[in-house]
Amino acid sequence: MGTVRKLADEVGRGLAEALPGLRKTVAGKLALAVGAMIEGQTPNTVELANLLPLPTERQDMREQWLRRLLKNPLLAATAAVEPFARAALAKAARQGQAVLLAMDPTGLGDRMALLVVALRVGDRALPLAWLAEAGPANIGFEGQRKLLEQVESWLPSGAAVMLSADRFYPSAALFAWVQARGRGCRLRLKGNALADAGQGEETTTGALAQGASERDLPGVRLFAQGS
């Protein structure tokens, strides 16, 4: 038995336990694809197709097999990830620890944008929810809200959360969403964002940050909306 097949058998047992309602044929094919991904350590579909233990040597048929699996309507990413995400979030929140979430963008030039909400585990990030759109890598607040609320629905009751995001994403709407749910956040800001430090004098976040610590700036308002 090849390595990919052995890995697929282990993955299949986990899928059967976590997703008992998933059709067995779909679960079996998914397990093979995941086994190939673990073995090859790549998401590249061409390379994965080469690793699949299929009864054909034709590359086009191997790639077609994988494409059909990825397009299968029975294989909904959110439903497949949910039991594993719930378990990871529950483990992260045990003993009252704050759950550390990160929201990050990835772009393929101006062709495709990917937004990911991940759970920070040590120095690594475990993707929980994601959204892909055609266009440059700056998905707006509605996309952010959709992913954040999806992850929120998987959190154990009473869990504390700290959200971090890079400078592409902070907005008045995102700050309001975080505040309305009582979540902590560390959101990087561009240095040219306009701010009111409480004296009625307009400045920028870059100017405020010069020589300041995180506790030096109470009452600062951004975006002219009190956020």
Question: In this structure, is the dihedral angle defined by the CA atoms of residues 149, 114, 124 and 214, taken in order, positive or negative?
Answer: negative
Predicted pLDDT at 99? 96
Cβ neighbors of 39 (< 8 A, separation 6 or more) are: 3, 4, 7, 51
Residue 81 gets which letter from DSSP? H
Half-sphere exposure of 67 (CA within 13 A, CB side): 7
Question: What are the beta bridge partners of residue 150?
Answer: none
Rounded Cα distance between 80 and 27, Å, is 10
Rounded Cα distance between 129 and 151, Å, is 7
Structure tokens that stand for 102 in this block:
């990160």
In the predicted model, residues of the chain with pLDDT beneath 50 are 1, 225-227
Predicted pLDDT at 113? 85
Rounded Cα distance between 7 and 34, Å, is 8
Residue position matching structure tokens 């038995």: 1
Report the C-alpha dihedral over residues 62, 65, 66, 71, rounded to 10 degrees. Answer: 160
Radius of gyration of the chain (CA): 22
CB 165 within 8 A of CB 104: yes
For the chain, the domains span 3-75, 78-187, 189-227
Distances (CA, A) of 40 to 44, 203, 225: 9, 51, 49
3-state secondary structure of 131: strand
CB 217 within 8 A of CB 208: yes
Predicted pLDDT at 43? 83
CATH number of 78-187: 3.30.420
Predicted pLDDT at 185? 84
